[in-house]
Each structure stands twice: as C-alpha cells, then as structure tokens.
C-alpha cells in the first residue's frame, strides 16, 4: 500500500444541517440489494442509507503545528441578477436558452441537467452523484417496503491507469463499470455474473457516456422482471439475463468447523451487522471456538460506524482503527469493547477483489496491528466516504466528503490491501473447492 497523507475531505461533524448524516464507506453499490432500491448506498432494510451513521463522536485530532480548522463558511449567494465571474457564463447560457430555444423546456429540466452536469462533469469523482426528485423520492419510499434488485455491486475502474480514478466520471472505452461482487444467493450470482465483469450494455443500450449513478435506475425494476447485461469477461462479450427478485440480505453467517475454529462470514456492513457479528462470535465461543476465520470476501463495505464496531471485536480497546480526514482536520476512530481482543485467540481474515472500503478498513486494521493474518487476493482499493444531502428541489446529492486511512496512515487506493498469504480463487466460480479457506485452516492449525 502507498502512504498518501494528502487525500482528504470534510468530516461529518462540520457538515451542513441538510445532510442526512449517512456517512458511507461502501463501494458505489449500484447493483446491491439496498443500493438499487435505496439510493446507491449500503444499509439494512430497517435503516437504509439515510439512517444516522453513528451516534457517538470520534476523537478529533489536529496534527501538530496545524491551526484549528475554522467553521465551514456560509455558501455565497449567487443570483443571475448579480452573478460572480465564474457563474456569469452559466447565467448567460440559461438566459439564452429561455429566450431562444426552439422547444418548450421547463426550469425543472434545466435544473436537473445543470446539477447532474456539475456533479458528473465538474467533480473528478465517480462516487459522487445526483438523484432527481422522482428517483430520490423512490429511494426514500423504498426504505419502508420490500427491496428488490439483482444483488450485486459495481465500481468504476480506470483500465489503463488504476491510480487515476479521478478521470473516470463517465463510462468510456478506458473507464469501465466493473462488478465488484455478486451477493451470496442473489439473482446475479445464480445467473453467472462474476466479480471483474465489465458492464458494457444494459438491455442492448451501451453504458458508454453515462455515469454509473445514472445507470442505476436503468437496471432497477420490479421483482419478476428481467434485465439483460452485456458483460466483457477475459476479452469476450456475453449477454447475461437476470430476473430481478426481492432479496433477503443475510449479512452474517457462522458455523463451527473442525479443531475449534469458529467461522464467521460478513457480506456487508449494514447498521445491524455489528450486533449480528457479536451474537455470532458469542455463540461460537459458547460452542468452544478457540480460533476464528473472518470471511470478508465479496463484501463491498457499508456504514463507517459498523466498520469501527466490527474492527473493535478483534483489536484492543482504544487502539487506532482508522482515521477520517479533511485537510488538516483528522478524526481518529478507535476501538471500543470487543469479544476477541486477546492475542491468545488466533484470527485469519479472508479477502479478495470484492472486499472493498469498510472491509478494507477492518482488514487493514487487523493486519497492521498484527492481530490477524490476511489470506486471499488483493482487495478492491477504495478509501473515500460518501454522504447524502437533501436539495431544495426534492432531489438528493451524494457527495464524497472524506478519505479514510489505515492505522499506519496508508491509503488502500488504488492497489487495495495486500494479503499476507496470496491464494487464488478457483478458476471455476461454481466449484465447491475453497483453497483460500483451506489455507486459512492450515495456518490456524499451526
């Protein structure tokens, strides 16, 4: 991993009161269970992406020699009666459209286009996005109803220079929309969608020229309906038709394995995942577990407070888990009480290219504290935090507000967390063989 102390953004403690306080560290989850239904964010069906990210306040530390950051200034009021220099061209373009465009066009249409353009073309960030009022309202409404989708997550990838993700705000020949991971038992997995697949078309329409955010509602639809994704895999294109379904997100699965090994699999960092992990660990300890495997493969991330809670189960109280940073303003997130904080309980963490963001927070913290051995393949490589904000027109703005760093102040972007023991997954994803878990059990056996 590369040390990169300059990648920073604003902390939640100083954000606009319009913000919906949902600090997210998940990959841009366009095809996830909650992502498709509840606004491109990870969250449990009970709380969703608009739930409070964390009720407590993390320690705020300002680096030595730095002054205390000033409060966020009020936004300058810009009107087309007296535009500032930067917005003069915008106001003039608006005036000319209203005065001379051949067809009728509403202010609402122009506003949607302007905001979308400002976010998708103006911000060098594929994870920021805009939802117009109709879609944002659907996202809010879906929080109280059933959720449906295809059950997979995607992110943007620069094919020629993975480190330069900022230039990939739209899908192009060089900037691909890539599947991070299908969820366990999801329609996407059952249809054969795989991590690493590049989505080149949806129902025959090319994805080129679109932002990943704008493609969400092309794929979203009612349970029982089909969507066909054209994917590029190993240089070959193929069509995969997936039947959308109501999906029951099973965040945590656990079981006792031979020789006192407790196995815990976490599929996403929802707001309820921490309690579920703790219950699973407690049950395995009661069953006699003396060592543990934490399986984060295919886990795309989720809420930032869930990452702290789950990391705290393994790392001693008050040890640094990660920092969330904006310029010289640094929030330190430290471990709280946990069940497996003693070094007397060996731990192996399984990771792969579908382990992203919150998964990378936990994996990197356990690795850098010497608390666990990482087995598998390099992780996805995302270290940004997103937050939703209401807009006066009823739409929603998802904005990248911060970047997080490991305890040793490493950035996982773009190379991901490197495993201590590299073990490739089987070439056939449908195979029952699991060489990564087998290696983990070998390590725990000594």
Catalytic residues: 357, 368, 382
Q: Say if strands 252-257 and 236-243 run parallel, antiparallel, or are unpaired.
A: unpaired
Q: How far is CA 400 from CA 23, 329, 335, in A?
A: 9, 16, 24
CA distance 32 to 247: 10
CB-based burial of residue 55 (10 Å sphere; 0-12 exposed, 13-18 middle, 19+ buried)?
exposed
Give the span between the Cα atoms of 334 and 314, in whole angstroms: 12
Spatial separation of the C-alpha atoms in residues 347 and 311, rounded to whole Å: 12
Output the DSSP codes for 224-260. Answer: T-EEEEEEEETTEEEEEEEE-EE-----EEEEEEGGG
Q: Which residues contact 156 (CB under 8 A, 6 or more apart)?
A: 28, 126, 127, 165, 168, 171, 175, 176, 177, 178, 212
Q: 313, 340 in Cβ contact below 8 A?
A: yes
List, in sequence order, every beta strand (DSSP E) within 319-381.
Answer: 320-326, 329-334, 347-351, 373-376
Tell me the C-alpha distance between 309 and 341, whole Å. 12
Taking a C-beta distance cutoff of 8 angstroms, is the pair 391, 115 a contact? yes
**Do residues 322 and 305 touch, judged by C-beta distance below 8 A?**
no
Q: What is the dihedral of CA 114, 116, 117, 122, to 10 degrees?
A: 120
Question: Exposed, middle or buried by CB within 10 Å (0-12, 13-18, 19+), for 232?
Answer: middle
Task: Report the alpha-carbon distance of residue 127 to residue 415 in Å, rounded.
Answer: 17
């Amino acid at each position: 991993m590369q040390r990169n102390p300059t990648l920073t953004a604003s902390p939640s403690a100083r954000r606009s009161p319009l913000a919906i306080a949902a600090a997210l560290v998940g990959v841009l989850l366009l095809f996830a269970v909650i992502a498709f239904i509840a606004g491109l964010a990870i969250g449990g069906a009970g709380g969703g992406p608009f739930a409070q990210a964390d009720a407590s306040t993390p320690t705020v530390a300002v680096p030595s020699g730095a002054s205390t950051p000033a409060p966020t200034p009020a936004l300058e009021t810009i009107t087309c009666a007296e535009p500032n220099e930067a917005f003069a061209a915008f106001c003039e373009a608006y005036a000319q459209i209203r005065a001379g465009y051949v067809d009728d066009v509403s202010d609402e249409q122009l506003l949607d286009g302007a905001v979308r353009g400002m976010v998708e073309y103006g911000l060098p960030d594929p994870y920021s996005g805009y939802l117009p009022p109709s879609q944002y309202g659907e996202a809010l409404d879906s929080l109280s109803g059933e959720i449906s989708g295809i059950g997979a997550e995607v992110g943007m990838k620069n094919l020629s220079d993975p480190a330069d993700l900022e230039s990939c705000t739209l899908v192009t020949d060089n900037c691909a929309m890539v599947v991070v991971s299908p969820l366990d038992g999801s329609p996407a997995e059952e249809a054969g969608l795989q991590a690493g697949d590049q989505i080149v078309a949806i129902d025959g329409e090319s994805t080129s020229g679109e932002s990943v955010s704008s493609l969400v509602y092309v794929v979203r639809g009612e349970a029982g309906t089909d969507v066909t994704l054209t994917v590029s895999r190993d240089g070959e294109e193929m069509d995969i038709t997936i039947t959308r379904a109501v999906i029951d997100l099973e965040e945590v699965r656990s079981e006792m394995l031979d020789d006192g090994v407790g196995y815990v699999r976490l599929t996403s960092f929802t707001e309820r995942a921490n309690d579920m992990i703790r219950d699973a660990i407690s049950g395995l300890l009661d069953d006699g577990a003396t060592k543990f495997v934490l399986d984060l493969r295919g886990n795309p991330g989720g809420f930032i407070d869930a990452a702290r809670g789950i990391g705290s189960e393994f790392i001693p109280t008050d040890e640094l888990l990660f920092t969330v940073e904006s310029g010289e303003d640094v929030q330190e997130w430290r471990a709280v009480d946990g069940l497996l904080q003693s070094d007397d309980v060996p731990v192996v963490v399984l990771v792969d290219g579908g382990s992203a963001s919150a998964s990378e927070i936990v994996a990197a913290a356990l690795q850098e504290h010497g608390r666990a051995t990482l087995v598998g393949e390099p992780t996805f490589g995302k270290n940004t935090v997103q937050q939703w904000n209401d807009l006066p027109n009823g739409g929603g703005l998802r904005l990248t507000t911060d970047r997080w760093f490991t305890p040793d102040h490493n950035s996982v972007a773009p190379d991901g967390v490197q495993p201590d023991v590299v073990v490739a997954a089987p070439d056939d994803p449908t195979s029952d063989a699991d060489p990564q878990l087998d290696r983990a059990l070998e390590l725990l056996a000594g």
